[in-house]
């Protein structure tokens, strides 16, 4: 099938590329833009490892064609840190709270958590768990991921982090 | 994991979309949020030669009032349904249903139009629309027609939509103020289709049910409008005996598939349990 | 010495050595999306491979026509068994002494078995072409029931060994028989049962499940035609084994094979053995002279790669009437699928299943395991099982509950009465295992006190009465599990993989400026080795952990090892690390003595330095000694500061734990809600408590998935009905309970740092704990055994059978 030209902003940079209509956004990001942060963990849109932030929405990039993303503004894990390399509060938090082990779900998880905290600056534990229910993890059992998001939320809100009593 | 090739079209008006649909032959699909279609394409269960993307059509978005109805554009996402204070006030069963559909990412992209139009018996909105007595606006080359949700579903993935038509909007009569509602969904985990789900909208008067409408999800090849069960509870205070009769009537119209969610007999029983719980919550919300 | 000198404690803290919650080194790249996983690898000219797979569970392959596939523009080659025959790779040896088809050779034996391998310029074209390979099948009757595998009329699965009366593990009694393996003393056990006051017998089934790491199996094979050398990147938990096996089967000399395991997105035993995808990618690269990447998708992963469990265990316990166990018997049928591809140590076709006497003092015991072939995917050992320990723990923990019920004893009290006592350690079990250390009573006591066990039982009694009165439709269950694990494979006298002894290694080199590098034969897939091994070195050598780079996975530079699975890294390579450190430390001591002009024995170690006894202002730090090692060493001594240790463990290690679960079952839907889960683990010396906690959380979550809904299910026609994440139950953050972790510490006396390993314990103990909880909810109504998984419909059906829905 003939390729078409698409353009979009990815991690703050304008990109222009040729794609087949059937090229999945996740493959476009990984193979053509060399952003291998978003990962592929399934082909049925369940695992969320491919999650990116697109026009202010958390989107599973494996369930969208690159052509559908024409003209959009996309942020992947590679765009989470500041231009000078300072890590985003969530990136720091995941390390601080041991919210990752093999690291495979982590890019999608952090990018989703970013949008979650935009939707809700101060989520309860239940809201966090529901908020990341589109992201599967096989290593951590989620508990420290929840803590990491709580820690980051506190940081972003400028309040001390209160670890919940056991 | 990899879909077959297709040609991609992105019309900017309903008219253009309909014209394309009519001119590209039989092997063409429209794509709304794509979160039902793209997974099927990746497994090559669907391999259309042409894809018409409806995302560029402004007229398919928006939520507005029209007399006693609310009109919801087909491309309204589940996220937008949940975020709409207007819908939360007027038709609260909609956001209660949206929030148990799939997961946050899917809800950002998945549309209410896609959910009602593709005929997947597992989708949640169809039974709710039947319960609400909604109407779908369908536009084809011969113009617009309206199809009652209660007459829309004919079989698994078979609907009353003719080739060349697209659903452009959903028209929902606003339930009376003070109505009771509930969508009760049993599922194995977040993101799963219903093992069984029940939608209830009712009004009360003098401590008795004045009107009631019941929809059932994923317990047959189509969503079900449980008309008989709905009639049974009218005039009652939803006492145990009446509810039991209604459950029996509801169970009687189910014919669920046996799958990982459970054997058919179990799922029928669960339709009954979900309905019992939905009636209970609706009653509490209606305040009697 | 002045007031500004840091104290020993301050200096120790700065090292970030053993016992502290050191933040992980690997996180820095992972949180930035800069991990280097196999599918991130891009090489110039790289091709992509994809499989055509069989829709049938059992069929003859009459014809394969690759013409249409080969004609697709961008397709470079299509491999079939015919192609592989030319290089003798149509079949490959498995780790269990069997052979396995790489590509279908005349027959297919399980659904989705590999039939053809298409190689193309990109993965999209490969996918298109894989659909165009035309295969003519003649369906054959299939069998997916292991209990029917040895029937007289059972379909022949393995025609290649149909008439072979001897298998890799002894005589075969049927054409679908793989092996029989036994342990213990049958006569003694039978005698115990014959005179027992009370016995129970129950078929305990552990269904087939799958580890399902988030990253699927994949590799990039790159054959350099000029040098005749193969470089193979892949998801390998045991990269050196892959290299050796690769060399043996391909005949490429081992020094010309470079196996590299980069970052791995979860292993859990799914990534130990070799898969057809690896072989086909290698052959394709050799044939084309270009790198070839193979990445499987999720359905392929779930339906064809190393599954776990599928054990049918008829379990019997004998006891006195006042609740002392006297005998244990277990007859097991093990479903190995179409090929025995189990990643077991050679002498152990049923792994370490004979740990089944568990934490209890059984004087007499016997097990017998029959492995059988069925039309299902090959494998069996995976998923944090420690080589069948999960199966054994499930059988004994369910069995103990069933016996407690028969004796009308509380399950925790019954266990307390039979736990091996601390005075009995080191304890020799009825199967000959020498348990290294443990204080079981303290652990169980602590668990019971922490959760308020007595109060919970009182609450349960009240709720049962309320249920009987119709006041509630919920049933409360309390599950108890006390497991003993056997990990750290293993002593060379017991353990080898295809003949290679299961030692492991650590090679440490300290640089002149006092930093260093440690390379090991293990391979992390998320366990944090880059962080934890450095902590061991920090404590042993007094160098800050941050100064030690840890590397694994590159077989050219890492010393030989058997990889990471079965919780063996800490017990084996952790020991090797400590031993290598001690060699370095011994040399450093001599250098220090030389520099300080004292005798070696005049020095004592203080955190990060050797100081003169009685004269502590005279010292040399390890950093100073590192510099000296390259500058001026004592006469006759080699310069440099490094050591390597290959550690052959004298014994396994035996972590243990006490887990208690409280849940509530909604009788009308069958759904269970976990109220509380308390896990006390004893893994001996605790290197990094934060990482231990993370391992326990993760293992418990896997256990939760297994117990409450996972199943690799086949219908009667051999179709896998649970091959995607739509139906294979991976819990989200919503379903997953909150975990409470706790610990006791009984160091392993034979391990250099007393550490036992912990990664698999939560799966071993967690599954029976959940299952016991669900069973416990219904026990008061006379229910004895509700099998797993405890998903909604099965639990509801059990309730229905008990008449609870009338």
ipTM score assigned to the predicted complex = 0.98
Q: Is A125 in the same domain as A99?
A: yes
CB atoms within 10 A of CB C456: 17
Task: Give Rg (Cα) of chain B.
Answer: 19
Strands (E), chain B: 7-9, 28-31, 50-53, 63-66, 69-73, 135-140, 143-148, 153-155, 158-159, 166-173, 180-186, 196-205, 208-217, 224-225
- Of A49, A77, A105, the domain-final residue: A77
What secondary structure does DSSP assign to C130-157, as a single string? HHH-EEEEEE------GGGTTSTTPPPS
Inside any domain, residue A82: no
Distance CA B197, CA C211 (A): 31
Q: Answer for the pair C375, C751: CB distance below 8 angstroms, yes or no.
A: no
Distance CA A63, CA B35 (A): 6
CB of A28 less than 8 A from some CB of C = no
Across chain C, which has 806 residues, the per-10-residue mean pLDDT values are: 78 97 98 98 98 98 98 98 96 95 98 98 98 98 98 98 95 98 98 98 98 98 97 98 95 97 98 97 97 98 98 98 98 98 93 98 98 96 96 98 98 98 97 97 98 98 98 98 97 93 97 98 98 98 98 98 96 98 98 97 97 96 98 96 98 98 98 98 98 98 98 98 97 98 98 97 98 98 98 98 96
Nearest to C629 by CA among C589, C596, C597, C598: C589
Task: Tell me whether residue C787 is exposed, middle or buried, using C-beta atoms within 10 angstroms of its C-beta: 0 to 12, 13 to 18, 19 or more.
Answer: middle
Q: Answer for the pair A61, A26: CB distance below 8 angstroms, yes or no.
A: yes
What pLDDT score does C5 carry? 80
Q: Answer for the pair C325, C319: CB distance below 8 angstroms, yes or no.
A: yes
> Is there a cis peptide before residue C426, judged by omega within 30 degrees of 0?
yes
Q: Answer for the pair C77, C286: CB distance below 8 angstroms, yes or no.
A: no
Report the first-to-last Cα separation within chain A, whole angstroms.
Answer: 57
CA separation, residue B158 to residues A114, B53, B120, B226, C120 (Å): 40, 21, 8, 20, 38
Q: Is A102 in the same domain as A67?
A: no
Q: Answer for the pair C771, C790: CB distance below 8 angstroms, yes or no.
A: yes
Distance CA C442, CA A122 (A): 41
CA dihedral C9, C12, C14, C18 (to 10 degrees): -130
Which of B42, B266, B271 to mutate: most C Cβ within 10 Å?
B266
Put simply, the answer to whether A166 touches C693 (Cβ < 8 Å) is: no
Q: Answer for the pair C540, C581: CB distance below 8 angstroms, yes or no.
A: yes
By CA distance, what is B40's nearest residue in A?
Answer: A44
Inside any domain, residue A105: yes
CA separation, residue A152 to residues A11, A88, C280, C734 (Å): 21, 9, 46, 20
What pLDDT score does C64 carry? 98
Inside any domain, residue A163: no
CA separation, residue C739 to residues A124, A141, A144, B279, C504 (Å): 17, 9, 10, 35, 33
DSSP H helices, C521-568, are: 529-541
Distance CA A13, CA A75 (A): 10
CB of B247 less than 8 A from some CB of C = no
What pLDDT score does A165 carry? 54
Minimal CA separation from B210 to chain A, in Å: 36
What pLDDT score does A2 carry? 86
Q: What angle do CA C730, C735, C737 make, to 5 degrees?
A: 110
Nearest to C193 by CA among C289, C102, C311, C329: C329
Distance CA C193, CA C200 (A): 10
Distance CA B282, CA B203 (A): 9
Contacts of C334 (CB under 8 A, 6+ apart): C146, C178, C310, C311, C312, C350, C369, C370, C371, C372, C380
Distance CA C284, CA C291 (A): 8
By CA distance, what is C263's nearest residue in A?
Answer: A102
CB of B188 less than 8 A from some CB of C = yes
CB of A130 less than 8 A from some CB of B = yes
Half-sphere exposure of B213 (CA within 13 A, CB side): 18
Residue range of the domain that includes A131: 89-157
Q: Which CATH architecture has domain C307-489+652-801?
A: 2-Layer Sandwich (3.30)
Distance CA C257, CA C234 (A): 13
Q: Which chains touch A (3 or more CB pairs under 8 A)?
A: B, C
Distance CA A153, CA A147 (A): 10
**Average pLDDT for B85-104:** 98
Q: What is the largest CA-CA distance in chain A?
A: 59
Q: Answer for the pair A19, A31: CB distance below 8 angstroms, yes or no.
A: no
Which of A32, A101, A164 to mutate: most C Cβ within 10 Å?
A101
Q: For residue C368, what are the β-bridge partners?
A: C182, C331
CB of B235 less than 8 A from some CB of C = no
DSSP H helices, C622-688, are: 622-631
Q: Is A146 in the same domain as A93?
A: yes
Distance CA B30, CA B17 (A): 9
CA dihedral B41, B46, B49, B53 (to 10 degrees): -60
User: What is the domain-level CATH number for residue A25?
Assistant: 3.10.20.30
Nearest to C381 by CA among C267, C246, C245: C267
**pTM confidence score:** 0.98
Distance CA B3, CA B287 (A): 51
CB of C736 less than 8 A from some CB of B = no
> Of C158, C208, C384, C794, which residue is the catalytic one?
C384
Contacts of A74 (CB under 8 A, 6+ apart): A8, A9, A10, A11, A29, A52, A53, A54, A55
Look at chain A and count its residues.
166
Interface contacts B/C by beta carbons within 8 Å: 51
What pLDDT score does A166 carry? 45
User: What is the domain-level CATH number for residue A134?
Assistant: 1.10.150.120
Q: For residue C170, what are the β-bridge partners?
A: C167
3-state per-residue secondary structure call for C21-75: CCCCCCHHHHCCCCCCEHHHCCCCCCEEEEEEECCCCCEEEEEEECHHHHHCCCE
Q: Is A94 in the same domain as A47?
A: no
Residue in B34, B102, B104 closest to A58 by CB? B104
Residue C693 falls in which region: left (phi positive, over 0), alpha (psi -120 to 50) or beta: alpha
Q: Answer for the pair C183, C494: CB distance below 8 angstroms, yes or no.
A: no
Report the first-to-last Cα separation within chain C, whole angstroms.
Answer: 83
Inside any domain, residue A164: no
The CATH number of C8-35+504-647, from 3.30.365.10, 3.40.190.290, 3.40.50.300, 3.40.50.970, is 3.30.365.10
Q: Answer for the pair C659, C480: CB distance below 8 angstroms, yes or no.
A: yes
Task: Tell me whether residue C299 is exposed, middle or buried, using C-beta atoms within 10 angstroms of its C-beta: 0 to 12, 13 to 18, 19 or more.
Answer: buried
Q: Is A10 in the same domain as A66?
A: yes
The total number of structural domains in chain A stands at 2
Task: Tell me whether residue C539 is exposed, middle or buried, using C-beta atoms within 10 angstroms of its C-beta: 0 to 12, 13 to 18, 19 or more.
Answer: buried
Distance CA C306, CA B119 (A): 37
Is C384 marked active-site?
A: yes
Task: Identify the CATH class of C42-140+216-264+272-304.
Answer: alpha beta
Q: What angle do CA A10, A11, A15 make, to 5 degrees?
A: 30
Cα C500 from chain centroid (whole Å): 19
Minimal CA separation from A7 to chain C, in Å: 22
Which of C23, C31, C40 to mutate: most A Cβ within 10 Å?
C31
Angle of helix C529-541 relative to helix C575-596, nearest 10 degrees, comes to 30
Look at chain C and count its residues.
806
Q: Is A152 in the same domain as A129?
A: yes
Inside any domain, residue A136: yes
By CA distance, what is A147's nearest residue in C?
Answer: C738
Domains belonging to chain B, first-starting first, are 7-56 (3.30.43.10), 58-173 (3.30.465.10), 182-283 (3.30.390.50)
- Note whether C8-35+504-647 and C307-489+652-801 share their fold: yes
Instruction: Please identify among residues 121-140 of chain A the ones whose CB lies closer than 8 Å to any CB of chain C.
Output: 128-130, 132-140
Q: Is A114 in the same domain as A73?
A: no
Domain boundaries along the sequence of chain C: 8-35+504-647, 42-140+216-264+272-304, 307-489+652-801
CB of A116 less than 8 A from some CB of B = yes
In chain B, residues with a C-beta closer than 8 Å to the C-beta of A24 are 2-3, 42
Half-sphere exposure of C120 (CA within 13 A, CB side): 20
Report the first-to-last Cα separation within chain B, whole angstroms.
Answer: 52
Half-sphere exposure of C788 (CA within 13 A, CB side): 33
Q: Answer for the pair C326, C289: CB distance below 8 angstroms, yes or no.
A: no
């Amino acid at each position: 099938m003939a390729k078409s030209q698409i353009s979009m902003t990815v991690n703050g940079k304008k990109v222009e590329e040729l794609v087949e209509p059937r090229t999945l956004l996740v493959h476009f990001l990984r193979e053509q833009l060399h952003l291998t942060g978003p990962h592929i963990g399934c082909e049925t849109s369940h695992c969320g490892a491919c999650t990116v932030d697109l026009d202010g929405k958390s989107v599973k990039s494996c369930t969208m064609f690159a052509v559908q993303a024409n003209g959009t503004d996309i942020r992947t894990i590679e765009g989470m840190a500041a231009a000078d390399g300072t890590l985003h509060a969530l990136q720091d938090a995941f390390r601080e709270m041991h919210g990752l082990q093999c690291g495979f779900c982590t890019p999608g998880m952090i990018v989703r958590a970013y949008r979650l905290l935009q939707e809700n600056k101060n989520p309860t534990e239940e809201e966090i768990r529901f908020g990341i229910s589109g992201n599967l993890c096989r290593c951590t059992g989620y508990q420290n991921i929840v803590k990491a998001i709580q820690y980051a939320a506190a940081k972003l809100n400028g309040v001390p982090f209160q670890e919940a009593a056991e | 994991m990899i879909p077959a090739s297709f040609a991609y079209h992105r019309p900017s008006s309903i008219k253009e979309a309909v014209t394309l649909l009519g001119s590209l032959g039989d092997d063409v699909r429209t794509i709304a949020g794509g979160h039902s279609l793209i997974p099927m394409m990746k497994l090559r269960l669907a391999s259309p030669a042409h894809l018409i993307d409806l995302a560029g059509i402004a007229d398919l978005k928006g939520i507005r009032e029209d007399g006693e109805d609310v009109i919801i554009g087909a491309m309204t996402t589940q996220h937008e349904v949940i975020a709409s204070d207007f819908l939360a006030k007027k038709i609260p069963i909609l956001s209660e249903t949206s929030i148990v559909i799939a997961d946050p990412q899917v809800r950002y992209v998945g549309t209410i139009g896609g959910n009602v139009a593709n005929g997947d018996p597992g989708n949640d909105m169809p039974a709710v629309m039947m319960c609400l007595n909604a109407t779908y606006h369908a536009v084809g080359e011969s113009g617009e027609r309206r199809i009652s949700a209660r007459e829309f579903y004919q079989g698994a993935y078979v609907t009353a939509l003719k080739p060349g038509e697209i659903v452009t909007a959903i028209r929902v009569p606003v339930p009376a103020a003070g109505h009771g509602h509930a969508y009760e969904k049993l599922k194995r985990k977040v993101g799963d289709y219903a093992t069984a789900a029940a939608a209830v909208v009712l009004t009360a008067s003098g401590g008795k049910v004045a009107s009631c409408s019941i929809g059932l999800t994923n317990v047959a090849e189509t969503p079900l409008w449980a008309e008989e069960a709905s009639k049974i509870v009218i005039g009652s205070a939803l006492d145990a005996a009446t509810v039991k009769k209604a459950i029996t009537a509801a169970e009687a119209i189910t014919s669920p598939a046996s799958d990982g969610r459970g054997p058919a007999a179990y799922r029928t029983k669960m339709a009954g349990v979900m309905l019992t719980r939905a009636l209970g919550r609706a009653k509490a919300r209606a305040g009697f | 010495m002045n007031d500004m000198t840091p104290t020993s404690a301050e200096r120790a803290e700065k090292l970030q050595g053993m016992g502290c919650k050191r933040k992980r080194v690997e996180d820095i790249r992972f949180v930035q999306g800069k991990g280097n996983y196999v599918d991130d690898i891009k090489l110039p000219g790289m091709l992509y491979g994809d499989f055509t797979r069989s829709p049938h569970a059992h069929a003859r392959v009459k014809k394969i026509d690759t013409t249409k596939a080969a004609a697709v523009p961008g397709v470079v080659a299509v491999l079939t068994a015919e192609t592989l025959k030319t290089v003798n790779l149509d079949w490959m040896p498995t780790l269990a002494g069997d052979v396995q088809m790489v590509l279908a050779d005349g027959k297919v034996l399980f659904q989705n078995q590999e039939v053809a391998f298409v190689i193309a310029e990109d993965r999209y074209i490969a996918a298109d072409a894989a659909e165009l390979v035309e295969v003519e099948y003649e369906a054959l009757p299939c069998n997916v029931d292991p209990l029917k595998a040895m029937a007289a009329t059972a379909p022949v699965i393995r025609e290649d060994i149909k008439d072979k009366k001897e298998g890799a593990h002894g005589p075969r009694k049927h054409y679908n028989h793989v092996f029989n393996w036994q342990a213990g003393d049958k006569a003694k056990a039978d005698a115990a049962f014959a005179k027992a006051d009370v016995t129970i017998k129950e078929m305990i089934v552990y269904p087939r499940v799958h580890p399902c790491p988030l990253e699927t199996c994949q590799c990039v094979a790159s054959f350099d035609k000029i040098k005749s050398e193969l470089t193979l990147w892949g998801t390998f938990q045991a990269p050196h084994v892959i290299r050796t096996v690769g060399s043996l089967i391909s005949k490429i000399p081992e020094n010309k094979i470079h196996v590299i395991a980069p970052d791995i997105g979860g292993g859990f035993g799914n990534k130990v053995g070799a898969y057809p995808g690896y072989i086909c990618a290698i052959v394709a690269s050799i044939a084309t002279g270009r790198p070839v990447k193979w990445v499987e998708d999720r359905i392929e992963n779930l339906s064809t790669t190393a599954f776990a469990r599928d054990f049918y265990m008829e379990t019997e316990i004998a006891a006195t009437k006042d609740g002392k166990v006297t005998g244990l018997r277990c007859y097991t049928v093990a479903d190995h699928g179409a090929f025995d591809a189990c990643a077991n140590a050679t002498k152990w076709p049923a792994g370490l299943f004979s740990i089944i006497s568990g934490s209890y003092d059984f004087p007499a015991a016997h097990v017998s395991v029959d492995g059988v072939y069925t039309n299902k995917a090959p494998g069996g050992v995976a998923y944090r099982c420690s080589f069948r320990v999960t199966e054994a723990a499930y059988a004994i923990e369910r069995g103990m509950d069933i016996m407690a019920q028969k004796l009308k004893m509380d399950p925790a009290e019954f266990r307390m009465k039979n736990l091996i006592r601390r005075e009995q350690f080191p304890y020799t079990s009825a199967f000959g295992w020498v348990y290294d250390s443990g204080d079981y009573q303290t652990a169980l006591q602590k668990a019971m006190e922490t959760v308020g066990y007595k109060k919970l039982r009182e609450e349960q009694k009240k709720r049962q009465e309320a249920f009987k009165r119709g006041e509630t439709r919920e049933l409360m269950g309390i599950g108890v599990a006390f497991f003993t694990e056997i990990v750290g494979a293993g002593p060379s006298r017991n353990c080898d993989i295809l003949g290679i002894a299961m030692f492991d290694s650590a090679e440490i080199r300290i640089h002149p400026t006092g930093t260093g590098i440690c390379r090991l034969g293990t391979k992390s897939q998320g366990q944090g080795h880059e962080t934890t091994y450095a902590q061991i070195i920090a404590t042993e050598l007094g160098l800050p952990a941050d100064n030690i780079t840890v590397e694994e996975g590159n077989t050219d530079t890492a010393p030989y090892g058997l990889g990471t699975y079965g919780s063996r890294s800490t017990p084996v390579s952790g020991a090797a690390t400590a031993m290598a450190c001690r060699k370095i430390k011994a040399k450093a001591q001599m250098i220090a003595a030389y520099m300080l002009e004292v005798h070696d024995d005049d020095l004592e170690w203080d955190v990060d330095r050797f100081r003169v006894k009685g004269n502590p202002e005279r010292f040399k730090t390890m950093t100073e000694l590192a510099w000296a090692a390259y500058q001026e060493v004592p006469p006759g001594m080699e310069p440099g500061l490094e050591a390597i240790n290959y550690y052959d463990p004298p014994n396994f290690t035996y972590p243990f734990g006490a887990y208690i679960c409280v849940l509530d079952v909604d009788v009308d839907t069958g759904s269970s809600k976990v109220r509380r889960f308390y896990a006390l683990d004893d893994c001996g010396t605790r290197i990094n408590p934060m990482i231990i906690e993370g391992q326990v959380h993760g293992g418990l979550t896997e256990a939760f998935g297994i117990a409450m809904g996972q199943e690799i299910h086949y219908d009667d026609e051999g179709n896998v009905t649970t091959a995607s994440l739509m139906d294979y139950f991976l819990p989200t953050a919503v379903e997953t309970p909150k975990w409470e972790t706790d610990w006791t510490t009984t160091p392993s006396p034979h391990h250099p740092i007393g550490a036992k390993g912990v990664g698999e314990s939560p799966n071993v103990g967690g599954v029976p704990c959940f299952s016991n909880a669900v069973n416990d909810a219904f026990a008061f109504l006379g229910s004895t055994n509700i099998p797993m998984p405890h998903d909604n419909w099965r639990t509801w059906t059990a309730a229905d059978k008990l008449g609870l829905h009338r």
